[in-house]
Amino acid sequence: MKHGDIIVALAIIAIVIIIIIPIPLGALDVLLSFNISLALLILLIAMYTQEALQFSIFPSILLITTLFRLALNITTTRYILSKGTAGNVINTFGDFVIGGNAIVGFIVFLIIIIVQFLVITKGSERVAEVAARFTLDAMPGKQMAIDADLNAGLIDDSDARDRRKKIQREADFYGAMDGASKFVKGDAIAGIIITIINIIAGFIIGVSIQGLDLTTAMGKYTILTVGDGLVSQIPALLISTATGIVVTRAASEGNLGNDLMKQLFNQPKIMFIISGVLLFFGIIGLPFIPFVSLSIVFLFLGLNLRKALKESEVEDIPDEIAEAVDEKRKPENVMPLLNVDPIELEFGYGILPLADSSQGGDLFDRLVMIRRQCALELGIIVPMIRLRDNIQLEPNQYIIKIKGVEIAVGEIVFDHYLAMNPGMVEEELEGIDTIEPAFGLPAKWINEQEREKAEILGYTVVDPPSIIATHLTEIIKKHAFELLGRQDVKKLIDNVKENHSVLVDELIPNQMGLGDIQKVLGNLLKEGISIRNMVTILETLADHSSITRDTDMLTEYVRQALGRAITKQFISSQPAKVITIAKELEQKIMESIQQTENGTYISMDPDMMQKVINSLSHQLQKLIALGEQPIVITAPIVRLYFKRLSEQLTSELIVLSYNEVDPTIEIQSVGAVNL
């Protein structure tokens, strides 16, 4: 086997040479015998193969064996027509089938060819064609099932990759089988044509050239033609049967022999019915001995099957009891209970249909899109989202958990849609008043009849699965900084390293560790800044980590490097109406900054801090009244500390520094926060 590839290559070349160059009769006998042996080997492998991919080279073997048979056909035809003989194997097969009667033998041979071509070959070809078509059509559904299992946490990335590879291999295999079955069909047609040529040309040569009488020529060339045809058609018949077995056993889990015995002889009641019917046929006048004998055989099988089933049931009961007792005594493996899922979505039994693809639910597909959306917008790898049903919840209620802690609760109404007024529609709808869970906006649950009216009026209308998906997406975005662990940072950096290895090698571990980079990325995500541009982030860290190791300061440098993207994300119109900070307050904040070994923080008098918050609240109300998004712009050194100060009022406030705003953007201050 060490040089198997060379042997196979030389064998294929030799097959082509055989077509052109004559070989000795002794070698021809050996090759004809080998052809039959090879066909038997392929048939037995097909019978004992449990799934099609275990015999994935079968399409290639079909091509090689077909070429081999055609080469032997051409060689035997050369000998039959030129010398009137084709070796001992062909003569023996011809004498055995004809049995002294050329006409009867030839008719039997024709029947074998018809069975081979019309029944087995045509059937195998059709099954291969249908299997290829259905396998290709089923690929998208199988891919979606793998994605659903991956999102549900039933399999990991490695298992999903293996299953996708197996699906691709199945599609390739059945597609190749569809084409390879045409080889078998073409071989059968060629065999018929070669047989006709051999017998007609043989008669002509035998009578006109060799001077034989018609009877002698007919007998001689009929034997040779039938022998040649059998020696080639028997292997073809075996390989056609193997083809049919391989492509028709898609649902089997064992080999053909075991499956036949298990599935045909597993119900004693059926054996008794067959036994009774056969006995009845023997009594009413059909041949008594054959039918009664078979009736006794099936009765015997039925009795043995019933006895075996009873014994297995008796044996299984004590085993089940013993297993149950052992299971209770066995110490529980508590290690899996210690794992905390990063993201969980628990829902009541009423929401189950949304997660069941067989009932038309597409929640699993939406989870795939959520992970994709977060990767594009935030640049993070969202962990697997665990779905769980919880009978303690209300039927239509769901809960979103982050690291095992409940973060948000929502409730939907089935067969209804959520309609939200964008603020420009005056006409009211009939429905149930509620609050949209993701953004806290007033909304109404409306039925199907009101849906079309709401869309015409200009309401935003969404279905229940979209409500859950949107709510989950917003929660993930809001808590992305909590979900980003060191392992996730390692994956992101490894992705950058594929094309920017010099940058990564310079930064890690000489200048910064994974923990420090994780803190910087977490700071960015906490304020809604995308970390997708990892190359710019790492380059900025490499430039400034030699100056300071304070992750808060490094975060500010990174924000300034991402200024264009930040501006585009938060400022959508010009001139941008913003709130600024009075210079006196900026100076006061800078004087209040305290530096310690663990970082910097602001130390300000509580009364002064309250005045700042009151002034900020007043300015925000003015900006909201103008219909603008609240944005505060301040000096770079003050930005971080004012953001922390403003979180006492609201965590959603956008605080930018002048260095983060694109210089081409026009800014208009509508007020200033002061003391």
> What's the pLDDT tens digit per position in 353-397?
877 766 667 777 788 888 888 888 888 888 888 888 888 888 888
Which backbone phi and psi does 21 adopt, to 5 degrees? -100, 130
Asked whether 161 and 147 are in contact (CB, 8 A), the reply is no
pLDDT at 324: 57
Q: DSSP assignment, residue 330?
A: S
C-alpha span between 162 and 167 (Å, rounded): 9
Closest CA to 480 of 397, 547, 381: 381
C-alpha span between 259 and 262 (Å, rounded): 5
Closest CA to 408 of 475, 482, 473, 477: 475
- Domains in the chain: boundaries: 12-261, 265-326, 360-481, 493-561, 571-675
pLDDT at 265: 67
Assigned fold of 360-481? Glutaredoxin (3.40.30)
Q: What are the distances in angstroms from CA 646 to CA 299, 523, 535, 643, 653? A: 89, 16, 31, 5, 7
pLDDT at 255: 60
Q: Within a 10 A sphere around the Cβ of 280, how many other Cβ atoms? A: 12
The H or E element that residue 461 is part of is strand 460-462
Identify the residue whose tokens are 């793998």.
146
pLDDT at 107: 74
pLDDT at 131: 67
| 3-state class (DSSP) for residue 46 | helix
Q: Within a 10 A sphere around the Cβ of 136, how many other Cβ atoms? A: 14
Strand order in the sheet with 631-634: 654-657, 631-634, 576-581, 667-673
C-alpha span between 94 and 104 (Å, rounded): 12
Helices (H), 430-485: 448-457, 464-478, 480-483
* Low-confidence spans in the chain with pLDDT less than 50: 251
pLDDT at 552: 85
Q: Determine the Cα angle at 145 with ends 143 and 147, to 5°.
A: 70
C-alpha span between 383 and 386 (Å, rounded): 9
Helices (H), 99-154: 102-114, 122-152
The alpha carbon of 643 is separated from its chain's Cα centroid by a whole number of angstroms, namely 44
| 3-state class (DSSP) for residue 60 | helix
pLDDT at 97: 62
> Can you give the pTM of this predicted structure?
0.53
Assigned fold of 493-561? Helicase, Ruva Protein; domain 3 (1.10.8)
Q: What are the distances in angstroms from CA 573 to CA 100, 465, 527, 578, 581? A: 101, 33, 21, 11, 21
Q: DSSP assignment, residue 411?
A: E
Which backbone phi and psi does 342 adopt, to 5 degrees? -60, -45
Q: DSSP assignment, residue 117?
A: I
**Which tokens in the block code for residue 317?**
């009961």
Pick one of 3.40.50.300, 3.40.50.12790, 3.40.50.12780, 3.40.190.10 as the CATH number of 571-675: 3.40.50.12790
Asked whether 90 and 228 are in contact (CB, 8 A), the reply is yes
The helices-and-strands tally (H runs, E runs) of the chain is: 25, 14
pLDDT at 577: 85
pLDDT at 71: 84
